Amino acid sequence: MEFTIDRDTFLKSLGHANGVIEKKTTLPILSNVLIEVKQSKIKITATDLDIIYFEEITPKEVKNEGSTTTSATILYDILRKLQSNEEVKLTLVTQNKLKLTSGNSKFNLLCLPSENFPLSEDNNNQNNFEISSQKLLRLLNKTKISISNDETRHYLNGIFLHKTKLENKSFLCGVATDSHRLSSSSIEIDENINIESVILPKKTIFQLISLLEQNVDSLKVSINKSKIKFEMNNGVLISKVIDGRFPDYNKVIPKTNDKILEVKLNEFKDSIERVTTVSTDRKEGLKMFISKDAIQLSVNNPNSGEGVENVNAKFNSDNLNISFNSRYLSDIASQIENDLIVINLKDPGSPILIRDLSDKNSFHVVMPMKI
């Protein structure tokens, strides 16, 4: 195997693959990236056995076809430290040694045979559909904030993707919850598209977000009961889905919250940021005293002090005292697109419903705290 490639092209592709590779693994070959040279194309593949990502790139020259695996981290770090736009030449000297040369630099990298690299069969071509990459990115960003980190309830460690219907329209809906908060976002789709309901794992979500943020043109999705595949530009991401049953989230969505609070988004966000400065733990409660035309936000920490701030607001009901985990409100506020944040309340002990006036297909539910 011998080829020459542009450093920037190679570095970008390896960066995509690197996100899949586990930093600590008991199988040495899983720390490696598979490099295959065939028919004037370079194919880069990485896997952690749950996720596999591969991408095809075009080299400047191919002298010999072949394949090998080498440390993804070391190769990426070498390329990162080389000059931009440099040519990089890779030559497989022996089965165990890969030579990399660029300018005045020369490296000999250890390899493992490509035959030992675990490749799963790509037979996931059921329920194909195309979707806007930017709309899916928006859905993932709006729901990822509520993913649970509780490993004992593994079925909450991801986003529940499923098809819903509302007012004779079909939607791809994403929902995440950690049982203290819930986030939902939907994309309108063609009613003829069949979608298998799946729970997308957290690691897959963040890898997919990273890829979609890099101006993906078109996105093709294939789903079956055990795997989901995303095809974009020159890359393909295939992931196992979480084996479990997502709870019936509709039961926790408030239906009778008729007390409406409106406040300017940036003022609300900034005020939370300031008053929580005295708190060493963002999980400590943020108290909200809501009146007709203002909210008093306060945090009291017995070890560090107290922070209080008033924010102008509109409230259509009598005064109300309620408390929340401040981080939950900050996370949700970061995903609101409108200049106003609208909060529907019922009483101090009931969950609130937060909607975005600029996105009618997204909402958030947050449980209050007892302080």
Span 72-122, pLDDT tens digits? 999 999 999 999 999 999 999 999 999 999 999 999 999 999 999 998 766
pLDDT greater than 70 at residue 125: no
Question: Rounded to 5 degrees, what are φ and ψ at 279?
Answer: -95, 130
One domain, residues 278 and 196: no
One domain, residues 189 and 303: no
Span 281-307, pLDDT tens digits? 766 789 999 999 999 999 988 888 899
Instruction: Give the mean pLDDT of the chain.
Output: 94
Q: Is residue 315 part of a domain?
A: yes
How many Cβ atoms from other residues are within 10 Å of residue 334's Cβ? Answer: 12
Q: CA 281, CA 294: separation in Å to the nearest integer? A: 26
Q: Is residue 72 part of a domain?
A: yes
- What Å distances lie between residue 259 and 158, 191, 328, 333, 362, CA to CA? 31, 35, 20, 19, 19
Q: Is residue 122 part of a domain?
A: no
One domain, residues 235 and 262: no
Q: Is residue 143 part of a domain?
A: yes
One domain, residues 142 and 246: yes
Long-range Cβ contact pairs of 119-125 (< 8 A, separation 24 or more): 119/34, 119/45, 119/47, 119/52, 120/47, 120/52, 120/238, 122/229, 122/236, 122/238, 124/222, 124/223, 124/224, 124/227, 124/228, 124/229, 124/238, 125/222, 125/229
Q: Which residues contact 360 (CB under 8 A, 6 or more apart)?
A: none
pLDDT greater than 70 at residue 123: no
pLDDT greater than 80 at residue 28: yes
pLDDT greater than 80 at residue 52: yes
User: What pLDDT, on a 0 to 100 scale, did the predictor assign at position 371?
Assistant: 77
Q: Is residue 124 part of a domain?
A: no
Q: How confident is the model at residue 177 (pLDDT cuts 50, 70, 90)?
A: very high
Could you say which DSSP state residue 139 is in?
H
Q: Is residue 121 part of a domain?
A: no
Please identify, among 232, 251, 270, the residue that sits at the C-terminal boundary of a domain.
Answer: 251
pLDDT (average), residues 344-358: 96
Q: CA 332, CA 289: separation in Å to the nearest integer? A: 20
Sheet order of strands, 294-301 included: 305-312, 294-301, 285-290, 320-325
Q: CA 106, CA 93: separation in Å to the nearest integer? A: 13
Q: Is residue 298 part of a domain?
A: yes
Q: Which residue has the tokens 């450093």?
A: 7
Q: Is residue 123 part of a domain?
A: no
Q: How many domains does the chain have?
A: 3
Instruction: Name the token pair of 321.
Output: 């005292």
User: What pLDDT, on a 0 to 100 scale, did the predictor assign at position 208?
Assistant: 97
Instruction: Name the token pair of 23.
Output: 């930093």
The residue count of the chain comes to 371
One domain, residues 358 and 317: yes
Please identify, among 94, 116, 138, the residue that sits at the C-terminal boundary of a domain.
Answer: 116
One domain, residues 219 and 268: no
User: What pLDDT, on a 0 to 100 scale, did the predictor assign at position 167?
Assistant: 87
Give the residue numbers spanning the domain of 78: 2-116
One domain, residues 245 and 201: yes
pLDDT (average), residues 152-173: 94
Span 263-272, pLDDT tens digits? 999 999 999 9
Please identify, among 189, 219, 251, the residue that sits at the C-terminal boundary of a domain.
Answer: 251
User: Which residues are bridge partners to 293 per DSSP?
Assistant: none
Amino acid identity of 339?
A: D
One domain, residues 148 and 109: no
User: What pLDDT, on a 0 to 100 scale, did the predictor assign at position 218?
Assistant: 78
One domain, residues 12 and 101: yes
Q: In angstroms, how far is CA 234 from the centroid of its own chain?
A: 20
Question: 357: domain CATH number?
Answer: 3.10.150.10
One domain, residues 223 and 143: yes
One domain, residues 354 and 275: yes
Instruction: Name the token pair of 159.
Output: 């986003």
User: What pLDDT, on a 0 to 100 scale, did the predictor assign at position 201?
Assistant: 97
Sheet order of strands, 340-345 included: 198-201, 158-166, 169-177, 181-189, 359-366, 352-356, 340-345, 259-264, 314-315
pLDDT greater than 90 at residue 308: yes
Span 228-284, pLDDT tens digits? 999 998 899 999 999 999 999 999 999 999 999 999 999 999 999 999 998 877 667
The model carries a pTM of 0.94
